[in-house]
Structure 1
Amino acid sequence: MTYLINSKELRVFRKYLDRFIVVFIVDILVYSRSLEDHNQHLRLVLQILRENKLYAKFSKCDFWLDHIEFLSHVISKDGISVDPKKVEAVVQWNRPTNVTEVRSYLGLTGYYRRFVDGFFKIAGPLTCPTQKGVKFVWSYQCEHSFQELKRQLVTASILTLLSGISGFTIYCNASKEGLGYVPMQDGKVVVHASRKLKAHEKNYPTHDLELAAVVFALKV
């Protein structure tokens, strides 16, 4: 269930946040593993709203959905996927002609970085024209990066939702360019994460880089 409430203090839900409730500004998302659990969760949420004199606009409410668009993602029992409308916007994006347009493109694609394996490496060439004091030049590398990000989002797989029941495996990777890791559960990808090396990390020997990748994964 999702619904829109008046913009009042929502600390009343703190006890249940990330257990079966997500709150974003004035939107509340209630999620459950089963229909029985969902009925109980809905009853509890509505009771809390009533007790605290918080009101939902019925026309903005949706109940018992098997999938939903939330914060530009599509969430279902199968997992989390990118919003098709946002992907279409990326596909239709014209080649940037200035720094502002490049940053806008990186902002949108970067929002979905968790769906792209090695995002920082693919997007790297696009950050060069945005650096201060650098003349804007659209190179072959920029064009390749621009098109590859489109391709990656069009073919992005569904990310699985973590279950507290099963364990998970973390695959880490380290190179002289950056660090990355992919946690998997039951053979399905949970998220893709990567970043560039920090200045001091560039001097690390191989075994220290590999350890840094493990630390990066565990911190996130």
Structure 2
Amino acid sequence: MPFDIKNAPAHFQRMTDTIFQEEILEGWMVVYIDDIIIYSEKWEEHVQYIDRVPSKCTPINLKISLKKFNFGQQELLALGHKFSGLCLAIDQNQVAAVLLKPVPKNIKETKSFLGFSSYYRNHFRNLSHITSSLAKLCSKDVVFEITKERSDAYERIKHELTNAPVLILPDFELQFKLYIDEGRCQA
């Protein structure tokens, strides 16, 4: 390949985004590097979408591995999430390893944990508030010290990861009520 190996994933992502741009914009395909997720509400629609993929890959000699294919799944584990119909939940297999880890012992472990929990920020209410005491440990000129407050924050985040709410897409056929706290709005 004519690019540096460290840039290979970014290059490949750009390439797949370009190849499947139309499908992505139509809103029935997600591409992450070499993983393609096709989703639809109706089986007939789904089959039509699947049929379109080889026509994009074949002309540019992009290979498809049928061994890696999963067809007609009602549930899918991908990118640390569990997709099921209109629901999005945290893949508990990803969380299991973190639950076994003790409180971070250094800045590197703290940053790793904060990055992991931040990946699931959509499932948390006030994540930045919960993690603020741990995030301060990553600042320059701060002595690395695990206080009770920081230890409690770490344990709370672990607890939240295992009890995170499932996110559900709204039903756009229903009426929405929007409440705004004007005191928190900026002019």
**Structure-2-length-normalised TM-score:** 0.82
Query: What secondary structure sits across from 2:89 in the alignment?
Result: strand
Identity among equivalent positions (%) equals 25
Tell whether 2:10 aligns with 1:36.
no
2:101 corresponds to which of 93, 102, 113:
93
Worse-superposed segment, 49-58 or 82-91: 49-58
Match of 1:211 in 2: 185
Match of 1:153 in 2: 161
Q: How does 1:1-220 map to 2 (within 5 A)?
A: 9-10=15-16, 11-18=18-25, 19-162=27-170, 165-166=173-174, 168=176, 207=183, 210-212=184-186
Query: What secondary structure sits across from 2:146 in the alignment?
Result: coil
Is the helix fraction higher in 1 or 2?
Answer: 2
Cα distance change of structure 1 residues 168 and 104 upon mapping to structure 2, 3 Å threshold: farther
Unaligned runs of 5+ in 1: 1-6, 174-205, 216-220
Query: What secondary structure sits across from 1:85 in the alignment?
Result: helix
Cα distance change of structure 1 residues 167 and 37 upon mapping to structure 2, 3 Å threshold: farther
Unaligned runs of 5+ in 2: 1-11
- Paired with 1:171 and 1:55, the residues of 2 have a C-alpha distance of 50
Contact 1:79 1:158 in 2 (8 A): yes
Match of 1:196 in 2: none
Cα distance change of structure 1 residues 90 and 172 upon mapping to structure 2, 3 Å threshold: farther
Q: Cα RMSD between the aligned structures?
A: 2.3
Query: What secondary structure sits across from 1:130 in the alignment?
Result: coil
CA deviation profile, 1:109-131 (whole Å, cap 9, x unmatched) = 11111111110111111112211
**Structure-1-length-normalised TM-score:** 0.71
Please report how far the alpha carbon of residue 44 of structure 1 lies from its aligned counterpart in structure 2 after TM superposition: 1.9
- Paired with 1:130 and 1:22, the residues of 2 have a C-alpha distance of 34
Cα distance change of structure 1 residues 74 and 168 upon mapping to structure 2, 3 Å threshold: farther
- Paired with 1:100 and 1:172, the residues of 2 have a C-alpha distance of 40
Is the strand fraction higher in 1 or 2?
Answer: 1
Cα distance change of structure 1 residues 41 and 169 upon mapping to structure 2, 3 Å threshold: farther
